[in-house]
């Protein structure tokens, strides 16, 4: 593969053979070369990168619970506890770099004693790269209540984009109890 300078010189030579080329267009040509080079050699090779900074559980009943995101996506032991019948929202803080991430969506599946009891798929949106992190709050949900709802649950959450690239997968356990723990 030719280097950037070799490619630019080749394009410059071909551009100068066009009828009506004027040396005063040199600055315009430089701009076109850089745009062409960026489009075909840089932008096409950068996959969007989404880094999740935090996952929080927001409830009017208590302070926000900021959950640590482990490197391997597998929190050790119990990740959090919900109070039965409480209303809560999930809040995600994440940063996008390199390229636009299109159609980022959140999927969550919950099991109790090996039986699937809940599943959801929600669209988060399309995001462009920026230095400041994005924050997205999910719609409010109500935790199940009653004697049968209390206990330990296992769950799998994924963040996928339109290209089916998984940006984060978390396998975790949580409890539903009479009170917040």
pLDDT in tens, 67-83: 988 877 778 788 899 99
- The confidence score (pLDDT) of residue 34 equals 60
Host H or E run for residue 106 = strand 101-112
Instruction: Give me the sheet containing 101-112, strands edge to edge.
Output: 78-83, 166-177, 151-160, 101-112, 115-127
Q: What is the pLDDT of residue 26?
A: 62
Backbone angles phi, psi at 52, to 5 degrees: -85, 125
Give the model's pLDDT for residue 73: 74
What are the residue ranges spanned by the domains of the chain? Answer: 4-45, 49-177
**Alpha carbon separation from 119 to 1, 15, 44, 115 (Å, rounded):** 48, 57, 35, 12
State the distance between the two ends of the chain, measured CA to CA, in whole angstroms.
Answer: 60
* Residue 42 clears pLDDT 60, i.e. is over it: no
Angle between helices 26-37 and 4-16 (to 10 degrees): 130
Please give the mean pLDDT across all residues of the chain: 84
What pLDDT sits at residue 29? Answer: 62
Fold of 49-177: Coagulation Factor XIII; Chain A, domain 1 (2.70.50)
72 — phi, psi (to 5°)? -90, 0
Q: Rounded mean pLDDT of 98-109?
A: 93
HSE value, Cβ hemisphere, 13 Å, CA-based, for 31: 4
Q: Both tokens of residue 90?
A: 């999930």
Question: For 160-178, how does the pLDDT look when each residue is reduced to its tens digit (9 = 90+)?
Answer: 999 999 999 999 999 999 9
């Amino acid at each position: 593969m030719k280097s950037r300078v070799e490619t630019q010189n080749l394009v410059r030579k071909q551009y100068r053979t066009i009828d009506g080329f004027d040396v005063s267009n040199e600055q315009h040509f430089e701009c076109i070369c850089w745009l062409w080079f960026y489009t075909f050699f840089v932008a096409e090779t950068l996959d969007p990168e989404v880094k999740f900074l935090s996952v929080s559980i927001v409830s009017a009943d208590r302070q926000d619970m900021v959950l640590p995101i482990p490197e391997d996506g597998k929190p050790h032991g119990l990740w959090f506890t919900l109070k039965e019948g409480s209303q809560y929202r999930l809040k995600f803080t994440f940063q996008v770099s390199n390229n636009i991430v299109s159609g980022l969506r959140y999927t969550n599946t919950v099991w109790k004693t090996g039986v699937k009891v809940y599943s959801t798929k929600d669209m988060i949106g399309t995001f462009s790269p920026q230095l400041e992190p994005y924050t997205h709050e999910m719609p409010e949900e109500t935790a199940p209540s009653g004697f049968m709802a209390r206990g330990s649950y296992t769950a799998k959450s994924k963040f996928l984009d339109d290209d089916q690239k998984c940006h984060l997968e978390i396998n975790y356990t949580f409890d539903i109890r009479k009170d917040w723990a």
